[in-house]
Structure 1
Amino acid sequence: MTDETDAGASDADSPASDAESEDPNDGAGYHVEAAAEDVADAVLLPGNPERVDKITALWDDHEEVARHREYRTATGTYDGAPISVTSTGIGSPSAAIAVEELARVGVDTFIRVGSCGAIQPEMDVGDLVITTGGVRQEGTSDEYVREDYPATADGEVVSALVAAAERLGHEYHTGVTMSADSFYAGQGRPGFEGFEAAGSDELVAELRDANVKNIEMEASAILTIANVYGLRAGAVCSVYANRVTGEFRTEGESRAAETASLAVKLLARMDEAKREAGADRWHAGLSL
């Protein structure tokens, strides 16, 4: 005889099968909520959602196309070039989600636009740092590749950012960036009630001696993931603090945004030059 209690159990009371469960791969914009028609091929990636308005204020035109959690996306044109921006929130885990989901809808170029702490004494607050490679002190990229895999910026993106900074007359530095998962202990700052992580008192000095230029929290993951997927990526950050001199001011944010926006325009010209020359990579001989 069948137990009436068992027989009366409905499917709604049972756990969902794998086929019925929520699958973020079913929709490319599970978190970002942007579709292919919403975004340009090149996307700027600030952390703070409030920076989206500051960036789009520099463009010819724009429209907000998506907003969900920390991810705000707007698309428009800068000097006639299609361009988008998506905020990522703080840290590499959320930045990686943005790269993953934007790549799935066709984005092929990513430029992190943010702020950082400089660790070389000659670097002034308000200067720009254009990243050529990253120290992967964040843990997100470890989920993708082995620890000795390099985080390198795409050469075309670096060239475009340098050319843009030069044309705009902004002071800039190029070099290696360290990306951390922690704003406090992971960057050698005291934590609550003066807590100091092991080695934190030597961290900045060791990085400075290795000629690392700056510290922030997203670049190395963005660069690593883009390289894994064969996409272009780079980073430009404004210096808010110099950890050596102790100087701090929230300055240069618009310079980083302007430099990145112009870089997208220059990358579009690079791509056109490559097509005309039948070249796979842009090089100085193709000019701008």
Structure 2
Amino acid sequence: MPIKQSELILNPDGSIYHLNIRPEHIASTIIFVGDQDRVGKITRHFDSIEFTTKKREFKTSTGMYKGERLSVISTGIGPDNIDIVLNELDALVNIDLKTRKIKKSHTKLNIVRIGTSGALQKDIPVNSILLSSHAIDLNGMLHSYQVDKISHPEIEDAFVKHTNWSTKKSYPLVISNSDTLANKITSDKVYQGITATAGGFYGPQGRVLRLGLQDANLNHKIDSFNFKGNRITNLEMETSAIYGLCKLLGHNAVSMNAIIANRANGTFSDNPNKIVTDLIEYTLQKLVE
């Protein structure tokens, strides 16, 4: 059965609705960034650029870097945007857009997030790099899908008990990265740990301006959680959505974080642009080794 027009929306030129791109516009290895401006900070390292487009917060550039074809896409902020981007990227490679039917052969993408994040542990300094071994989803977006086969109930249940997690909130989900991609990118320069993915920047991450929090001690409970030596090391807004959807759709994913703040120490990088640049250069080199 062809997928209905209301479910798979295409633009008049045949491109996918939000991203405004066609299958030939993307490489099999794609770098995600949140900010449109960061796309150019990555592609300036490329040897050539063959394609660039932009629609809303989604900017895409594809080109060559040291013999490898790579794409860079800005996703905007938050798990809801990741839901759009990953479903549309998967549709580009695994659905025939003319017949609107799922292809018999599956194409696997490699997704690498390059983002900024705040560390939760005192021993993870600002201006360091962290690879997310797992992500714990605190925002609930993934519960729209059939997630039982990709989650880690043992860790989830221990986290719920440790934090006395409110039953009014979505049940936390833990999803691992792609071992293949993580092994390619990691090194002794890189910290690793569980990344918590919140659904917002202020209250969901324990920040207080004028609004009180449902659980004022939640950040401390998150910081102190430890499951068989696995700690929650940092907090951001995209990684669990990337890991979860990639697992469900059959793609590889790894999240690389430039640590620009340390919430436990109350410190912030004196030169955040440098650590982001360092992470970009590090990741690009690892992708072509």
Range into which the TM-score falls when normalised by the shorter chain: 0.7 to 0.9
- CA distance 1:102–1:263, shift in 2 (3 Å): farther
* 2:246 equivalent to 1:226: yes
Aligned twin of 1:109: 110
User: In terms of Rg, which structure is larger?
Assistant: 1
* 2:235 equivalent to 1:215: yes
Sequence identity, in percent? 26
Instruction: Find the residue that maps to 1:177 and give its secondary structure.
Output: strand
* CA displacement, residues 93-131 of structure 1 (integer Å, 9 cap, x when unaligned): 111211111122226111111000101111111111101
1:189 to 207, 211, 216: 207
* CA displacement, residues 48-95 of structure 1 (integer Å, 9 cap, x when unaligned): 111101111222222442210010000112221111000000101111
- For 2:276 and 2:50, locate their aligned partners in 1 and report how far apart those are by CA, in whole Å: 21
Aligned twin of 2:178: 154
- For 1:148 and 1:243, locate their aligned partners in 2 and report how far apart those are by CA, in whole Å: 21
Shift of 1:145: 3.3
- CA distance 1:229–1:23, shift in 2 (3 Å): closer
Aligned twin of 2:218: 203
More strand by share: 2
Asked whether the 8 Å contact 2:49–2:61 carries over to 1, the reply is: yes
* 2:85 equivalent to 1:98: yes
Aligned twin of 1:81: 68
- For 1:203 and 1:129, locate their aligned partners in 2 and report how far apart those are by CA, in whole Å: 22
Shift of 1:148: 6.6
Question: Bigger CA drift: 26-35 or 40-49?
Answer: 26-35
More helix by share: 1
- CA distance 1:172–1:216, shift in 2 (3 Å): same
Asked whether the 8 Å contact 2:140–2:172 carries over to 1, the reply is: no
User: What TM-score, normalized by structure 1, do the two folds share?
Assistant: 0.77
User: What TM-score, normalized by structure 2, do the two folds share?
Assistant: 0.77
Shift of 1:28: 5.9
- For 1:145 and 1:185, locate their aligned partners in 2 and report how far apart those are by CA, in whole Å: 28
Shift of 1:229: 1.1
Aligned residues: 239
- For 2:50 and 2:15, locate their aligned partners in 1 and report how far apart those are by CA, in whole Å: 20
* 2:190 equivalent to 1:180: no
Shift of 1:156: 1.0
- For 2:74 and 2:20, locate their aligned partners in 1 and report how far apart those are by CA, in whole Å: 12
Question: Bigger CA drift: 205-214 or 38-47?
Answer: 205-214
Shift of 1:138: 2.0
- For 1:232 and 1:28, locate their aligned partners in 2 and report how far apart those are by CA, in whole Å: 24
- For 1:43 and 1:261, locate their aligned partners in 2 and report how far apart those are by CA, in whole Å: 11
Asked whether the 8 Å contact 1:120–1:213 carries over to 2, the reply is: yes
Instruction: Give the aligned residue type for 1:142.
Output: H
